[in-house]
Amino acid sequence: MSLSSEVDTLYAWGLMIGMAIITFALRFGPLTLFSKIDLPRLAHRSFRLVIPAVFAALVFPVLFLVNGAPALNPFSNPKLIAAVVAVLVAWRTNHMLLTMLAGMVVIWGLKWLGVG
């Protein structure tokens, strides 16, 4: 191993450990602060909406955009069909692993058939 690769490895580990510490601090700080403060009822009710909002912000661009352009045709965007199947499986079974498996099987099957 050369000195340059050892420095690169040390730099990469230091960067990952530093990022982990910063990420932990950003999550831990508000949790400890809000656990000691009695928040108003409106704040509690609004916090319940954070998870669905973040989930929608993460999922919708992946589902409805292909190469940055809207793709609402299920025959050119097999992710839409897989998402509908996954939602139906989740609704009927309330089983996360089965839901993910169903969506993955559908998208793989459609890609194997050449849809999309």
pLDDT digits (tens, 9 = 90+) for 34-72: 777 787 888 888 888 888 899 999 999 989 988 888 888
Q: Tell me the average pLDDT of the chain.
A: 88
Task: Give percent of the chain with pLDDT exceeding 90.
Answer: 50
Would you give the distance in Å from CA 116 to the centre of its chain?
22
Amino acid 66: pLDDT: 84
Q: How confident is the model at residue 102 (pLDDT cuts 50, 70, 90)?
A: very high
For range 65-83, the mean pLDDT: 87
Q: Calculate Rg over the CA atoms of the chain.
A: 21
pLDDT value of position 18: 96
- HEC per residue, the chain: CCHHHHHHHHHHHHHHHHHHHHHHHHHHHHHHHHHHCCCCHHHHHHHCCHHHHHHHHHHHHHHHEECCEECCCCCCCHHHHHHHHHHHHHHHHCCHHHHHHHHHHHHHHHHHHCCC
Residue 1: is its pLDDT beyond 60?
no
Predicted confidence at residue 85, as pLDDT, reads 96
Indicate the pLDDT class of residue 112, thresholds 50, 70 and 90.
very high
What pLDDT, on a 0 to 100 scale, did the predictor assign at position 89? 97
Tokens 């319940």 belong to residue: 48
Which amino acid is residue 112, in one-letter code? W
Q: pLDDT value at position 34?
A: 73
